[in-house]
Amino acid sequence: MSEARVSPRERLVLTAIIELYISSGEPVASQAVAHYFANKEGLSSATIRNVMATLGDGGLLEQPHTSAGRVPTASAFRYYVEQITRPEAQMNRMGAAASAVLPLSEERRGQIEDSFSGVASSNEYLERTSHVLALISSGLGIALASSTAEQVLEHIHFSRLSAGRVLAVLVTQAGAVLDRVLVLDRELTHLDLETAARYLNESFHGWPIERIRAEVALRMEAERAAYHQMLASVEELCRKGALAISDAGPALYVEGMSNLIAAEVDRERLRQMLLALEAKQRLVELLTAYVDGRQQEVRVVVGLDEASPAMQDLVLFGAPARLGGSSLGTVAVIAPTRIQYQEMIQAVRYVARLSERILEVPAD
């Protein structure tokens, strides 16, 4: 059943059934819908039963086993999300559209703010995000750091440890502090290291890490005569990994797997779902496919069966987190389709926008 073929009355009844099902977790009978409206909309029990039958024929409701009640399908939840997230969703109760997403409560905002107390770096923000979103969603809280290509140099420092061994400490503008021990092919003195660090910090502060590596190679060729010794030291340090962020891909923080275990009663489906979710690369691919770092709003995807058949009864809420105009990463919730959509959309949006405030980059 397409949106164009859903009448205002059918839309009203469908919204009521979805909200009753989210609240109770039980199949919704026509009597419950009638009680929900309490005759305020002029809908008789017979009319409601006829509308529910039409919605069932249209693939928006299904009847589990021999229950007299109905439950919304994935298509119904998708339709519901479309209604509450569309810009013009400021409609009346007779269903020209569902009501708009309600603001996040003052209590919930305070809970989120308190949970991020003391966070001072992007890594801490992303790690805390997975915990907070798992807690308030009773689902899976996920945070994925941006790719290394988007990491920007704030400062680099070198310390000589022993013969041929140097400690490189790299700080990004997102607040990540990464250290790595470099094993060099030739000895570099303390002066060599200080000169190399000064050159990188003065020449490339604010540059993406990936661009610095390429630029150092270019300057090595163009300025070899004038700065041969100093650039040779810089090139040696870079070649040995001084500007390498990670070889293991972007950092991924996941919390709340026990929430999904508690919510799923079908043990075999649970096993398949956990196999799909425990694969780090699968989650990275999922967030990358569905959440665009340029988008402004929360993306809601109902039914993740395209990623894995075992995830057909799950919903994804995802949004990009930004810092100083650059992508910091993606924050997301994966939860059963029976969830408070309006609150979760607002919570994910609030957490994503919090990064700009708690990790504000100071002006030069």
Condensed to tens digits (0 to 9), the pLDDT of residues 36-52 reads 887 666 788 888 999 99
Its sign, for the CA torsion 147, 175, 109, 259, is positive
Residue reference for tokens 């959440």: 291
| pLDDT given for residue 64 in this prediction | 81
The CATH number covering residue 327 comes to 3.30.450.40
For residues 133 and 166, membership in a common domain is answered with no
Residue 126 structure tokens = 């992303």
Q: State how many domains the chain has.
A: 3
pLDDT at 364: 42
Report pLDDT digits (tens) over 276-332: 777 777 888 888 888 887 787 899 999 888 777 778 888 999 999 987 777 788 999
| Cα torsion through 36, 41, 44, 47, rounded to 10 | -100
Query: Are the CB atoms for 317 and 84 separated by under 8 Å?
Result: no
194 and 139 both lie in a single domain = no
Q: What is the DSSP string of 206-270?
A: T-BHHHHHHHHHHHHHHTHHHHHHHHHHHHHHHHTTTT---SS-S-EEEE-HHHHHHH---HHHH
Helices 30-37 and 8-24: crossing angle, nearest 10°?
100
| 143 and 292 belong to one structural domain | yes
- Whether 94 maps to a domain, the answer reads no
Pair 80, 10 in one domain: yes
- From the DSSP assignment, how many helices (H) and strands (E) are in the chain? 13, 10
The model's pTM: 0.72
Instruction: Kindly state whether residue 98 falls inside one of the protein's structural domains.
Output: no
Of the three residues 239, 270, 288, the one that is the final residue of a domain is: 239
- Same-domain status, 344 and 260: yes
Residue 175, amino acid = G
Beta-carbon-side half-sphere exposure of residue 360 (alpha carbons within 13 Å):
5
One domain, residues 135 and 258: yes
* Per-residue pLDDT at 217: 77
Alpha-carbon distance of 84 to 345, in angstroms, equals: 10
Burial annotation 138-163 (CB, 10 A radius, 16+ → b, else e): bbbbbbbbbebebbbbbebebebeee
Q: What value does the mean pLDDT of the chain take?
A: 82
Q: Give yes or no: residues 233 and 221 share one domain.
A: yes
Residue 173 domain-assigned (yes or no): yes
Are both 199 and 117 inside the same structural domain?
Answer: no
Identify whether the C-beta of residue 146 lies closer than 8 Å to the C-beta of residue 250: yes
Residue 95 lies in a domain: no
Q: State the residue range of the domain holding 52.
A: 3-85
Residue 263 included in any domain: yes
Same domain? For 230 and 257 the reply is no
Query: Which two three-digit tokens encode residue 62?
Result: 């299904």
Residues 122 and 267 in one domain: yes
Residues 233 and 318 in one domain: no
Q: To the nearest whole percent, how much of the chain has pLDDT over 90?
A: 32
Per-run averaged pLDDT (10 residues), the chain, 364 residues = 74 94 91 83 83 93 81 93 73 44 84 91 88 92 75 87 88 75 88 90 85 79 61 78 66 84 70 74 84 84 82 90 81 92 94 87 47
